[in-house]
């Protein structure tokens, strides 16, 4: 374990301040120049159900969580012990068992946990009187303690204690608190500081000179990096692409992105419209795309189900877009509304009846989420198809440290636009048969470009037509665009073979599992002589079958890794290449893979020499 | 683009496509009225986008020379909303049938009233689903049985005017496909109105609806024309002071009362009108640029977003 590779957890009931405490601390860490990764698990619930953040810090980029917890900051007993053991299922056993020997637990004294009844004698327990600490901090400022007004600051107590444990200066936390508070509440900043300091002192008193086994070393010589969640990165990418119209219907975990964009409407050229459902969202976006603006919508699986007919409509009418960001969550139906999955690949590939071209692209991390969202608009315009960006809850809600989103310099391609002769002898043909399969689009409002198009099969002129030859021409034209895409979209965008060309094991993946795979490969390769590479397929429709087949055929050993039950990419690979990947690591718990879980899967496939394995176990 | 001379209905004529509607269909009347109204409105064909749903009425954009989108069943209002917000300079005309608007699209009908985007919505209301061979539409009354139905309808009809009032439509009118002059006037008024303007257009389906026939509207059985002009009887549906809640309530109640009038007398014309902020006004209040520049003009692909990135540092 590198010295600064720390795994913190903040847990408590929803509504108790877990979110702000976590966001404040992760930002303070990021400002201190360390690399941060965080993810969050929460229920579909406003108030009371268990929520926890994992905050991982490291001195190198990390994009996944580890199973262990070094410091557990608890706002309630459930965070430590889990749910009532009498419930039918008790897979939520709390997080006590995840705390490493030598680790620490900070908990509110009123929960009543003592070193004697904790059940672990190999961890440090810091049971602190959260409310009393807040009270003393408030009174220090000459104010009368008022629970209704001041109790919300109790979430600063575990942060102060955490600073003491990790020898991290509380003054690195205070500026973040100040930034988050509105102008009218700036007077609370000094009180928050006092809470942090009092908590720091209380923890320090318990720890004594002995200290703690870990410290969080600031790296102040580092450039100021971003700490950004996927939904924010995708929102920024939409603005960068010139998306002028975003529609949505509230749904977890997608609406965060739209709400983020809504707040930017005053200063950026975008209108965000909250529609009455996802059918409306989709078809409004299709209308705007036809009218000439870059349009987008964002949703999760249940919403995409309603968007299905709009996908077929956009495709047969050759709309330039829209871009649909599909944040997958656990299905089917309402399923696991706030949990992660990769269950919607096959649905995204065939979202509606009939046969039609569209693009499905799955970014692997937060930078790719931004960059491929930008490219999705180019592709929508260039090929006049709707584009699905397959993200997920993990990407949406996790925070990642990056230098930038890598958007600068990405080209803008609006595709072929008709600028024909108003007085031309030939009337404009919206669905003209061309060698590229793409007909230059007239932007409504352009003189001479008047066209009609229709969800019925149609002629080059957009007239309803059921003639056989015309049907063949238009089907061939539309479907042929899939081949053109594969020829034109650079291979480096279609897929990536991360790592060396030749490896003991090739992990085949798509989407956000790239994040734990990257970290796990690095770990395994450090601990052993095993070499692992990762074929990450981004472009899922059209599918780069020839290139994928070639890579798979020369691989030594294959492992399919996906967050779903059926191994949906495996099915797609088999369908398109004829290659069946026998070894699978499939997870459908609604929780993302950890670095450790992927590392275990690698070791299961490529057993290590015993001595190395023993050393790895001990690490 | 300014047109050199005012357009005429002929400028909106299509030569390479011919209506495949049945002889005597009310759709012809509505098509002609649309072309004449567009000419009177003085818009060039390229400045107009006609958006339609699915059904016989949905084919209308194929027969008028403007930009046209023939969309999905029940989704015409969604698409029209997207088109208009993308490019406010376009004259947007949404067209659909009664099943399209009041049945499968009922949710969008309600919410479009709330939203009040500036476009015109024409509903071809003939009481039946013509293109699927004459099933009962949402406006067919309980107990009615046209010749294509094996059994009479056993559920009530929707009251489109009443639904429009409670949904917040700011212009609500009823027209008749066979009363050309009046219908043209209504469509022009609707286009001039700022906000979503609904015209429920009664029309015969000569093939499947043997009850709501031309003879029915003519009142051959009762000896007088059933349809009558509200204006002829001094009815004024316009709210003159939109800040006066009493006036709004009174005008809405009067319109609702008129909406139930059926049988021997069927009111025609503007039932309710009020000037209220449009959705576009609401957007402009958040983003002043939208007041003068459509999204299509203000969009900036490739814009520098580093200031946004910096907020996360």
CATH number where A335 lies: 3.40.50.970
pLDDT higher than threshold 90 for residue A420: no
Structural domains counted in chain A: 4
Q: Do A309 and B72 touch (CB under 8 A)?
A: yes
If asked whether residues A289 and A394 sit together in one domain, one would say: yes
Cα distance from N-terminal residue to C-terminal residue, chain B = 47
Q: Quick check: is A221 in a domain?
A: no
Q: Quick check: is A253 in a domain?
A: yes
Token pair 């009046």 is found at: B182
Q: Do A287 and B111 touch (CB under 8 A)?
A: no
CATH number where A609 lies: 3.40.50.920
Q: Kindly identify which residue of chain B lies nearest to residue A260, measuring between CA atoms.
A: B308
Rounded CA gap, B163 and B160, in Å? Answer: 5
CATH number where A171 lies: 3.40.920.10
How many CB atoms within 10 Å of residue A605? 18
pTM, two decimal places? 0.97
**A445 vs B contacts (CB less than 8 Å):** 46-47, 67, 87, 89-90, 296
If asked whether residues A484 and A502 sit together in one domain, one would say: no
Q: Quick check: is A216 in a domain?
A: no
Rounded CA gap, A246 and A263, in Å? Answer: 12
Q: What is the extent of the structural domain holding A112?
A: 6-210
Mean pLDDT of A481-506: 97
Q: Do A453 and B49 touch (CB under 8 A)?
A: no
**B51 vs A contacts (CB less than 8 Å):** 287
If asked whether residues A319 and A195 sit together in one domain, one would say: no
Q: Which of B54, B67, B84 sits opposite A450 (nearest CB)?
A: B67
**B61 vs A contacts (CB less than 8 Å):** 452, 454
**pLDDT of B166-216, one tens digit each?**
999 999 999 999 999 999 999 999 999 999 999 999 999 999 999 999 999
* Mean predicted lDDT score pLDDT of chain A: 95
If asked whether residues A83 and A182 sit together in one domain, one would say: yes
Q: Quick check: is A580 in a domain?
A: yes
A145's tokens: 């303690």
- HEC readout, A365-422: CHHHHHHHHHHHHHHHHHHCCCEEEEEEHHHHHCEEEECCCCCCCCCCCCCCECCCCC
If asked whether residues A470 and A528 sit together in one domain, one would say: no
pLDDT higher than threshold 50 for residue A611: yes
Q: Kindly identify which residue of chain A lies nearest to residue B290, measuring between CA atoms.
A: A269
Mean pLDDT of A481-504: 97
If asked whether residues A351 and A279 sit together in one domain, one would say: yes
If asked whether residues A138 and A111 sit together in one domain, one would say: yes
B287's tokens: 């983003």
Q: How far is A382 from chain B (nearest CA, A)?
A: 14
If asked whether residues A136 and A269 sit together in one domain, one would say: no
**Could you tell me which residues come within 8 angstroms of residue A416 by beta carbon, excluding any fewer than 6 positions away?**
A382, A436, A438, A439, A440, A441
Rounded CA gap, A36 and B124, in Å? Answer: 60
Q: Which of B17, B46, B75 sits opposite A283 (nearest CB)?
A: B75
Q: How far is B82 from chain A (nearest CA, A)?
A: 4
- Among candidates B202, B179, B177, B185, which has minimal Cα distance to B39? B185
Q: How far is B275 from chain A (nearest CA, A)?
A: 22
How many CB atoms within 10 Å of residue A54? 25
Rounded CA gap, A122 and A106, in Å? Answer: 14
Q: Do B83 and A240 touch (CB under 8 A)?
A: no
Mutate to test the interface with B, among A264, A287, A297 (most CBs of B within 10 A): A287
**B300 vs A contacts (CB less than 8 Å):** 242, 269
Under a CB-based contact definition with an 8 Å cutoff, are residues A397 and A220 in contact? no
Q: Quick check: is A217 in a domain?
A: no
**If you count residue pairs, one on A and one on B, with CB atoms under 8 Å apart, how many are there?**
209
**pLDDT of A581-592, one tens digit each?**
999 999 999 999
Q: Do B80 and A455 touch (CB under 8 A)?
A: no
Q: Do B72 and A275 touch (CB under 8 A)?
A: no
In terms of phi and psi (left: phi > 0; alpha: psi -120 to 50; beta: otherwise), the region of A421 is beta
**A447 vs B contacts (CB less than 8 Å):** 1, 44, 46
Q: Do A287 and B83 touch (CB under 8 A)?
A: yes
How many CB atoms within 10 Å of residue A124? 20
Q: Kindly identify which residue of chain A lies nearest to residue B313, measuring between CA atoms.
A: A226
Three-state DSSP at B310 gives helix
**pLDDT of B93-106, one tens digit each?**
999 999 999 999 99
Rounded CA gap, A322 and A297, in Å? Answer: 7
Q: Do B298 and A269 touch (CB under 8 A)?
A: yes
B231's tokens: 């204006």
Mutate to test the interface with B, among A34, A279, A283, A418 (most CBs of B within 10 A): A283
Mean pLDDT of B152-170: 98
**pLDDT of B219-236, one tens digit each?**
999 999 999 999 999 999
If asked whether residues A498 and A512 sit together in one domain, one would say: yes
* Sheet strands (E) in A157-288: 226-229, 243-248, 271-274
Q: Do B59 and A242 touch (CB under 8 A)?
A: no
Q: Do B313 and A225 touch (CB under 8 A)?
A: yes
Q: Do A266 and B305 touch (CB under 8 A)?
A: no
- Torsion sign, CA atoms A542, A543, A545, A547: positive
Q: Do B79 and A283 touch (CB under 8 A)?
A: yes
Q: How far is B116 from chain A (nearest CA, A)?
A: 13
**B71 vs A contacts (CB less than 8 Å):** 283, 286-287, 313, 455
Q: Which of A285, A294, A455 sits opposite B70 (nearest CB)?
A: A455
Q: Which of A236, A291, A414 sits opposite B86 (nearest CB)?
A: A291
Q: Which of B51, B71, B296 sits opposite A292 (nearest CB)?
A: B296
- Among candidates A528, A485, A483, A489, which has minimal Cα distance to A505? A528
Q: Do B46 and A227 touch (CB under 8 A)?
A: no
**B50 vs A contacts (CB less than 8 Å):** 452
**pLDDT of B279-304, one tens digit each?**
999 999 988 888 888 999 999 999 99
Residue ending a domain, choose from A402, A436, A457? A402
Q: Kindly identify which residue of chain A lies nearest to residue B285, measuring between CA atoms.
A: A266
Q: Quick check: is A506 in a domain?
A: yes
- Residue A558 pairs with which residues in a beta bridge? A506
**B83 vs A contacts (CB less than 8 Å):** 287-288, 290-291, 444
Three-state DSSP at A572 gives helix
Mutate to test the interface with A, among B35, B81, B308 (most CBs of A within 10 A): B308
For chain A, give the percent of residues with pLDDT over 70.
96
How many CB atoms within 10 Å of residue A219? 11
Q: Do B72 and A276 touch (CB under 8 A)?
A: no
Q: Do A226 and B85 touch (CB under 8 A)?
A: no
Q: Quick check: is A605 in a domain?
A: yes
Q: How far is B72 from chain A (nearest CA, A)?
A: 7
If asked whether residues A256 and A344 sit together in one domain, one would say: yes
Q: Which of A244, A447, A448 sits opposite B298 (nearest CB)?
A: A244
Q: How far is CA A561 from CA A322, A364, A584, in A?
A: 30, 13, 6
**Could you tell me which residues come within 8 angstroms of residue A334 by beta carbon, excluding any fewer than 6 positions away?**
A302
pLDDT higher than threshold 60 for residue A3: no
Q: Kindly identify which residue of chain B lies nearest to residue A276, measuring between CA atoms.
A: B111
pLDDT higher than threshold 70 for residue B1: no
Q: Kindly identify which residue of chain B lies nearest to residue A224, measuring between CA atoms.
A: B313
- CATH numbers and ranges of domains, chain B: 20-297 (3.40.50.970)
A297's tokens: 């919508």
Q: Kindly identify which residue of chain A lies nearest to residue B84, measuring between CA atoms.
A: A288
Q: Quick check: is A578 in a domain?
A: yes
Q: Do A414 and B301 touch (CB under 8 A)?
A: yes
**pLDDT of A20-35, one tens digit each?**
999 999 999 999 999 9
**A289 vs B contacts (CB less than 8 Å):** 82, 86
Q: Do B299 and A227 touch (CB under 8 A)?
A: no
Per-residue pLDDT band for A108 (boundaries 50, 70, 90) equals very high
If asked whether residues A318 and A449 sit together in one domain, one would say: no
Residue ending a domain, choose from A402, A424, A444? A402
pLDDT higher than threshold 80 for residue A163: yes
pLDDT higher than threshold 90 for residue A385: yes
Q: How far is A73 from chain B (nearest CA, A)?
A: 25
ipTM confidence: 0.97
If asked whether residues A424 and A534 sit together in one domain, one would say: no
At residue A1, the pLDDT reads: 43
Residue ending a domain, choose from A460, A489, A518? A489
Q: How far is A582 from chain B (nearest CA, A)?
A: 43
Q: Do B108 and A317 touch (CB under 8 A)?
A: no
Q: Kindly identify which residue of chain B lies nearest to residue A296, measuring between CA atoms.
A: B82
Q: Kindly identify which residue of chain B lies nearest to residue A462, measuring between CA atoms.
A: B62
């Amino acid at each position: 374990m590198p010295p600064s590779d720390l795994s913190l957890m903040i847990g408590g009931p929803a509504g108790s301040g877990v979110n702000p405490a976590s966001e404040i601390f992760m930002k303070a860490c990021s400002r201190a120049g360390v690399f941060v990764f965080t993810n969050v698990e929460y229920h579909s619930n406003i108030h009371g159900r268990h929520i926890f953040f994992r905050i991982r810090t490291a001195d190198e980029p990390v994009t996944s969580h580890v199973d262990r917890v070094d410091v557990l900051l608890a706002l309630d007993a459930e965070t430590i012990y889990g749910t009532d053991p009498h419930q039918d299922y008790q897979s939520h056993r709390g997080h006590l068992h995840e705390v490493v020997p030598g680790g620490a637990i900070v908990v509110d004294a009123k929960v009543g946990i003592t070193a004697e009844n904790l059940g672990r004698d190999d961890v440090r327990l810091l049971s602190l009187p959260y409310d009393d600490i807040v009270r003393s901090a408030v009174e220090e400022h000459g104010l009368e303690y008022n629970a209704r007004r001041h109790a919300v600051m109790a979430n600063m107590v575990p942060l102060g204690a955490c600073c003491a444990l990790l020898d991290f200066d509380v003054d690195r936390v205070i500026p973040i608190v100040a930034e988050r508070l509105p102008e009218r509440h700036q007077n609370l900043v000094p009180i928050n500081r006092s809470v942090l300091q009092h908590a720091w002192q209380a923890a320090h008193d318990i720890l004594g000179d002995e200290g703690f086994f870990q410290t969080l070393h600031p790296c102040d010589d580092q450039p100021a990096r971003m700490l950004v969640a996927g939904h924010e990165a995708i929102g920024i990418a939409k603005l960068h692409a010139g998306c002028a119209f975003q529609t949505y219907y509230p749904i977890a975990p997608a609406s965060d992105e739209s709400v983020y964009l809504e707040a930017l409407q005053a200063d950026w050229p975008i209108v965000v419209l909250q529609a009455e459902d996802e059918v409306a969202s989709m078809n409004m976006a299709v209308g705007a795309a036809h009218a000439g603006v870059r349009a987008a919508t964002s949703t999760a699986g249940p919403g995409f189900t309603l968007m299905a007919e709009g996908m077929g409509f956009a495709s047969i009418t050759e709309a330039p877009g829209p871009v649909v960001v599909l944040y997958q969550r656990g299905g089917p139906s309402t399923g696991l509304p706030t949990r992660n999955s990769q269950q919607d690949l096959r649905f995204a590939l065939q979202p509606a009846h009939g046969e039609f071209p569209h693009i499905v692209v799955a970014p692997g991390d937060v930078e790719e989420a931004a960059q491929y969202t930008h490219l999705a608009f180019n592709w929508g315009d260039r090929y006049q198809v709707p584009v699905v960006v397959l993200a997920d809850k993990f990407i949406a809600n996790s925070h990642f440290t990056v230098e930038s989103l890598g958007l600068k310099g990405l080209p803008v391609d609006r595709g072929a636009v008709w600028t024909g002769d108003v007085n031309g002898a030939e009337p404009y043909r919206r669905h003209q048969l061309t060698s590229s399969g793409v007909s230059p689009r007239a932007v409504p409002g352009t003189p001479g470009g008047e066209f009609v198009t229709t969800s019925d099969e149609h002629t080059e002129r957009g007239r309803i037509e059921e003639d056989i030859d015309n049907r063949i021409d238009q089907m061939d034209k539309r479907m042929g665009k899939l081949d053109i895409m594969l020829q034109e979209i650079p291979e480096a965008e279609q897929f990536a073979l991360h790592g060396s060309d030749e490896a003991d094991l090739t992990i085949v993946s798509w989407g956000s599992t790239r994040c734990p795979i990257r970290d796990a490969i690095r770990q395994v390769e450090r601990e052993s002589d095993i070499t692992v590479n990762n074929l990450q397929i981004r472009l899922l429709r059209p599918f780069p079958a020839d290139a994928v087949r070639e890579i798979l055929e020369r691989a030594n050993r294959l492992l399919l890794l996906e967050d779903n039950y059926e191994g949906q990419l495996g099915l797609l690979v088999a369908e398109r290449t004829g290659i069946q990947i026998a070894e699978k690591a499939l997870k459908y718990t609604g929780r993302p893979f950890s670095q450790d879980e992927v590392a275990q899967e690698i070791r299961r496939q490529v057993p290590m020499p015993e001595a190395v394995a023993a050393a790895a176990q001990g690490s | 683009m300014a047109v050199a001379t005012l357009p005429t209905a002929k400028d909106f004529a299509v030569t390479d496509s011919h209506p495949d509607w049945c002889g005597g269909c009310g759709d012809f009347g509505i098509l002609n009225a649309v072309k004449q109204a567009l000419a009177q409105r003085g818009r060039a064909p390229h400045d107009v986008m006609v958006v339609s749903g699915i059904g016989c009425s949905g084919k209308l954009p194929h027969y008028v020379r403007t930009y046209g989108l023939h969309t999905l069943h029940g989704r015409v209002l969604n698409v029209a909303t997207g088109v208009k917000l993308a490019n406010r300079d376009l004259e947007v005309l949404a067209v659909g049938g009664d099943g399209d608007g009041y049945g499968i699209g009922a949710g969008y009908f309600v919410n479009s009233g709330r939203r009040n985007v500036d476009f015109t919505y024409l509903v071809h209301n003939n009481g039946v689903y013509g293109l699927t061979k004459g099933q009962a539409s949402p406006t067919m009354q309980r107990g009615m049985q046209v010749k294509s139905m094996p059994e009479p309808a056993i559920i009530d009809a929707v009251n489109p005017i009443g639904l429009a009032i409670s949904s917040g439509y700011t212009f609500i009118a009823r027209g008749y496909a066979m009363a050309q002059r009046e219908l043209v006037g209504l469509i022009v008024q609707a286009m001039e109105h700022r906000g979503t303007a609904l015209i429920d257009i009664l029309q015969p389906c000569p093939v499947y609806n043997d009850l709501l026939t031309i003879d029915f509207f003519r009142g051959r059985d009762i000896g007088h024309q059933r349809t009558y002009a509200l204006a002829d009887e001094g009815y004024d549906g316009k709210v003159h002071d939109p800040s006066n809640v009493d006036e709004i309530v009174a005008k809405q109640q009067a319109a609702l009362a008129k909406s139930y009038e059926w049988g021997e007398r069927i009111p025609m014309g503007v039932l309710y009108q009020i000037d209220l902020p449009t959705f576009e006004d609401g957007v402009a209040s958040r983003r002043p640029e939208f007041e003068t520049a459509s999204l299509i003009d203000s969009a900036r692909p490739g814009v520098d977003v580093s200031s946004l990135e910096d907020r996360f540092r």
